[in-house]
Amino acid sequence: MANRAPDSVRLLAVSKTCDAACIAEARACGQMAFGENFVQEAVGKIRELDRADIEWHFIGPIQSNKTRAIAEHFSWVHSLEREKIAHRLNEARPPHLPPLNVLIQVNVSGEASKSGVAPGAERALAIVIRSLPRLKLRGLMAIPEPTADIALQRTRFALLRRLQLELQASDSAVDTLSMGMSDDLEAAIAEGATLVRVGTAIFGRRDTSTREK
Ligand SMILES: *Cc1c(COP(=O)(O)O)cnc(C)c1O
């Protein structure tokens, strides 16, 4: 429908609040990449599963006291928005592992309460990340405000795509556009997402009462 080749969009299964058995089941069905928001919960499951054939992505807000655990257990981080956190992840990335793949989170909806750098501010952060040898800048990520207005969804995703094209012009390693969740993934794919982050549409509704604080 969006005129996209099927293999140009990857699926990240967002497994927050799914237990290790549920992740193992999805892995057995062929799913390789899993996204987690809560460090402690994720590390417990990563250790329990202990599988090198699962690619772990950290997609939640990053507290500075959690950077070591993230750098040791994940191969991707989607939610980088601060220089200080970039430095800490770089220092904590173990030498026996390849550089940590990172995406800069951009606040495409302009709401004061939302995470991410302001559109345009990703350029300065990108320069910092490129100077850090244990990090590899792969692209951008956004979580627009929830809306049923498809035209508005597309406007937000189109903005992220434009910023991504600018970054790509000076950096051929930039190849990943992480946008689209269960409720807006069609619009994201139409606007060029290369990685959609889907939880509810795969695993069902989450029980939010069990969330880590
Ligand atoms: C939970 C979460 C998702 C998945 O959301 P669904 O609506 O369940 O598909 C995607 N991205 C981030 C950053 C999330 O926290």
Would you give per-residue pLDDT tens digits along the chain (213 residues)? 678 888 899 999 999 979 999 999 999 999 999 999 999 999 999 999 999 999 999 999 999 999 999 999 999 999 999 999 999 999 999 999 999 999 999 999 987 667 999 999 999 999 999 999 999 999 999 999 999 999 999 999 999 999 999 999 989 999 999 999 999 999 999 999 999 999 999 998 766 554 443
C-alpha 178/C-alpha 164 separation (Å) is 10
Tokens 């795969």 correspond to 202
**Residue 96 alpha carbon to ligand 1 centre in Å:** 30
**Ligand 1 nearest atom to the CA of residue 202, by list position:** 9
C-alpha 10/C-alpha 91 separation (Å) is 29
**Ligand 1 nearest atom to the CA of residue 183, by list position:** 7
Radius of gyration of the chain (CA): 16
Q: Write down all domains in the chain, each with its CATH number in brackets.
A: 9-203 (3.20.20.10)
Q: Whose CA is nearest to atom 12 of ligand 1?
A: 59
Global pTM value: 0.94
**Residue 145 alpha carbon to ligand 1 centre in Å:** 12
Pocket residues: Cβ below 6 A from ligand 1: 14, 16, 37, 59, 143, 181-183, 197-201
CA torsion sign, 141 to 144 to 150 to 151?
Answer: negative
C-alpha 93/C-alpha 107 separation (Å) is 26
**Ligand 1 nearest atom to the CA of residue 12, by list position:** 10
C-alpha 70/C-alpha 49 separation (Å) is 16
Tokens 């699962």 correspond to 54
Is 108 in contact with 119 (CB distance < 8 Å)?
yes
